[in-house]
Amino acid sequence: MGLFNSFNISASALSAQRLRMDIISQNIANVNTTRTEDGTPYRRKVVLFQEKKEAAPFSQYLSEESRNRYLTGSGVRVSGIVEDPTPFKEVYDPSHPDADENGIVRMPNVEIVTEMVNMISATRAYEANVTALNASKSMAMKALEIGR
Amino acid sequence: MQSKGDDSVLSKLLFTKNNLEQALDAAWLRNEVISQNIANVDTPNYKRKTVQFEEFLNSEMKSGRISQGKSRIAGQSMKIVEDPSESSYRSDGNNVDIENEMALLAANSIRYNTLIQRISGDFQKLRNVIRGGR
């Protein structure tokens, strides 16, 4: 329970949501990429979130009671960016330079509608965290007014 | 005979951590916990946390340990607990309801501002007395 702990919690979520937004933009940008550096079509990427646990100070390990007391945790962290293993979409287009001998082109497994929905979800989560940060800020400023 | 410093109004106002300050601590901790819940709104299997403070205050008041003379909770006054209930509309094991958290956040900062006003009021009274009502 420090003065700036809640600021750090909200800030960690802001950067996590921004990274999620970056990856969604990358997915949308590559919706038609049939050839990446290793020759395969582009695979959709997904960001994994994990709760960031606070490292308890030594004194808090001493008793069960104090261990449960003030450990809020310290926000959220990105545990990894993984590739979506769902199969590629197959489209018949013999004129495409990446088509195989049967005229099938393998397209990325990016669903544009899913990406747009996730983008809105990331935007709203970002806004919610900005609101939380502003609430913490106004509370901290208010505390300075004690005894004025 | 009791020492004079222990129960004078001045030392009570300045050197003891009274109920208001404990409530202020609880509101601050609750703000942190709500921020943590909002930060983890998209984390799979995260369970929302809450702060218990009013429960402790209620049991102290019922038992009569808190009266005019002693206005603070002795011992543990607040605790963070995890809410294990399953959300009915989410399939990822997370039970954070973002609307509920935002409402709690707004309510909590109003409560905090109220407590700040009360504490400032206490100091204002003290200042008034020191100035002799002028």
pLDDT tens digits, A23-63: 999 999 999 999 999 889 999 999 999 998 876 666 666 66
Instruction: Output the pLDDT for position B64.
Output: 73
Contacts of A56 in chain B (CB under 8 A): none
* Predicted complex ipTM exceeds 0.85: no
In a domain, A93, yes or no: no
Q: How many structural domains are present in chain A?
A: 1
In a domain, A104, yes or no: no
CA B59 to the chain's CA centroid = 15
Instruction: Output the pLDDT for position B131.
Output: 92
H/E segment holding residue B81: strand B79-82
In a domain, A117, yes or no: yes
Domain range holding A133? Answer: 3-31+45-83+110-146
In a domain, A100, yes or no: no
Angle at CA of residue A129, ends A123 and A132, nearest 5°: 145
Instruction: Output the pLDDT for position B2.
Output: 41
Residue A144 touches chain B, beta carbons under 8 Å:
no
Rounded to whole angstroms, how far apart are CA atoms B55 and B132? Answer: 40
Whether residues A68 and B79 touch (CB distance < 8 A) is answered with yes
In a domain, A92, yes or no: no
Looking at the complex, report in whole angstroms how far the Cα of residue B21 sits from the nearest Cα belonging to chain A.
11
Count helices and strands (H / E) in chain B: 4, 2
Whether residues B76 and A142 touch (CB distance < 8 A) is answered with no
In a domain, A23, yes or no: yes
Higher per-residue pLDDT: B133 or A26: A26
In a domain, A91, yes or no: no
Tracing tokens 């003891």 back to the chain, one arrives at B16
Closest Cβ opposite residue A9 in set B32, B120, B123: B32
In a domain, A130, yes or no: yes
Looking at the complex, report in whole angstroms how far the Cα of residue A58 sits from the nearest Cα belonging to chain B.
19
Residue A36 touches chain B, beta carbons under 8 Å:
no
Residue B82 touches chain A, beta carbons under 8 Å:
no
Closest Cβ opposite residue B36 in set A9, A125, A131: A9
Nearest CA in chain A to B47: A51
Give percent above pLDDT 90 in chain A.
72
What's the CATH code of the domain at A63? Answer: 1.10.287
Confidence bin at B22 (pLDDT 50/70/90): confident
Chain B residues 18-77 within an 8 A CB cutoff of chain A? 25, 27-29, 31-36, 38-44, 46, 49, 76
Q: Is B32 left (phi over 0), alpha (psi -120 to 50) or beta?
A: alpha
How confident is the model over B68-120, as pLDDT tens digits?
A: 556 677 777 788 888 888 877 788 889 999 999 999 999 999 999 999 998 89
Tracing tokens 């009671």 back to the chain, one arrives at A65
For the full predicted model, state whether its pTM sits above 0.90. Answer: no
